[in-house]
Amino acid sequence: MWNMKHDLFFLASIIDLDQISSFITDGAAIQNYYWANQFAYSLVHDRKYLHMWFSLWGVFHKSDLCEPLKKLSVFLPKQPWIILELACWRWHNSGYLYSHYPEHTYFWCDLSDEQLSYSPENGVVYTKGNFHDLSSFSSESCDVVFIIEALCHSSMKELVFKEVFRVLKPWWKFVVIDWYGWSKILSKDELKALELTAKWMCVYGVEPYLAVCDYAEWAWFELNYEEDVSLAVLPSMERLKRRTSWLWNLGMLSRNFFSFFPRVFSGNYVAAYLMPTLIVTWAAEYWFSVFEKK
């Protein structure tokens, strides 16, 4: 059932997989990608959150949606302090935390102006911004910084760690929830599937988890807690694949669909198709990590 060669062969019978080599994954492309796909995401994934659910028993359940945030909340301070969310998409992660821990002040930033229109009235403060440059936050001003499924978009992750290190108060934490690639030696098919998935989702080359930990160490962070949650995200990835798979099974109509719609839109379905196989074959991993500023 989980066979990368088979998956690629099937996709290649419908869509030209080699066209991806010309894809660009810069800031403008990322904004365009999220703008073009917001409606599709609302339909097949969720209207508020873009991240994967954590399903603890291997079975998808709607309430698993906020499990990543429940896990994260363990690392929030007990006193009222400053929490900064990077790359928030809409405000719902910080909004969820605000509804459970209203004593804190939440700041969040994203590349996109559009998110402003989703801003809640109070409790959460929006700043348009690129997470490579947090100059609107002064040094040692935040107690917890977190980022969910967005560090993968960065081509300069060491810079992000450096900036977060600067804005954090000593002894406080940076929580990163994200997916990574190849902790093992990959076959040609696995490498190709990983490259396709990354490019179609505007991710700048997926890096191994250990490489990203090295960036953190380089910026003087210490790894405080880590958990491989690859199997926990699998049910929501499978759900996404199931919900989009009808598009691949319409014969000639599928070919027409994928040639008619712009790649920025249709390519997302390639990623949804390949993701579960990447996780099951350990060609990709998903980690929950907490780095501490010593």
Is 104 a binding residue for ligand SAM by CB under 6 A? The answer is: no
Closest C-alpha among 206, 102, 232 to residue 154:
206
Residue located via tokens 């928030």: 88
157 binds ligand SAM (CB under 6 A): no
- CB-nearer residue toward ligand SAM: 34 or 174: 34
Considering only 20, 30, 82, 278, the residue that binds ligand SAM (CB under 6 A) is 30
d(CA 32, CA 25): 10
Give the full edge-to-edge strand order of the sheet including 284-293: 124-128, 105-110, 82-86, 142-148, 168-181, 284-293, 221-228
Six-digit token string for 74: 């363990």
Q: Which stretch binds ligand SAM (CB under 6 A): 26-34, 162-170, 211-219, 285-293?
A: 26-34
| Distance from chain centroid for Cα 265 | 17
- Is 40 in a helix, a strand, or coil? helix
| Residue 241 found at the interface with ligand SAM (CB under 6 A) | no
Provide the β-strand partners of residue 291: 174, 223
Examine residue 280 and tell whether it contacts ligand SAM (CB under 6 A): no
Provide the minimum distance between the beta carbon of 261 and ligand SAM in the complex, in angstroms, as a whole number: 20
Is residue 51 part of the contact set for ligand SAM (CB under 6 A)?
yes
Q: CB-wise, 88 or 237, nearer to ligand SAM?
A: 88
Pick between residue 93 and residue 197 the one whose CB is nearest to ligand SAM.
93
Spatial distance between the Cα atoms of 152 and 149, rounded to a whole number of angstroms: 7
32 is a site residue for ligand SAM (CB under 6 A) = no
Q: What Rg value do the Cα atoms of the chain yield, rounded?
A: 19
Q: Which is nearer to ligand SAM, 50 or 271 (CB)?
A: 50
- How far apart CA 95 and CA 99 sit, in angstroms, is 6
CB of 249 to ligand SAM, least distance (A): 27
DSSP category for residue 24: -
Q: Is 149 one of the binding residues for ligand SAM (CB under 6 A)?
A: yes
**8 or 108, CB closer to ligand SAM?**
108
Residue 89 found at the interface with ligand SAM (CB under 6 A): yes
* Dihedral angle of Cα 210, 215, 216, 222, to the nearest 10 degrees: 70
Is position 111 an interface residue for ligand SAM (rule: CB under 6 A)? yes
Burial of 181 (0-12, 13-18, 19+ CB in 10 A): buried
Among 88, 142, 176, 275, binds ligand SAM (CB under 6 A): 88
Q: Which stretch binds ligand SAM (CB under 6 A): 18-26, 27-35, 94-102, 187-195?
A: 27-35
CB-closest chain residue to ligand SAM: 87
Smallest distance from the beta carbon of 51 to ligand SAM, in angstroms?
A: 4
Binding residues for ligand SAM, per CB under 6 A? 27, 30, 34, 49-51, 87-89, 93, 109-112, 130-132, 148-150, 153
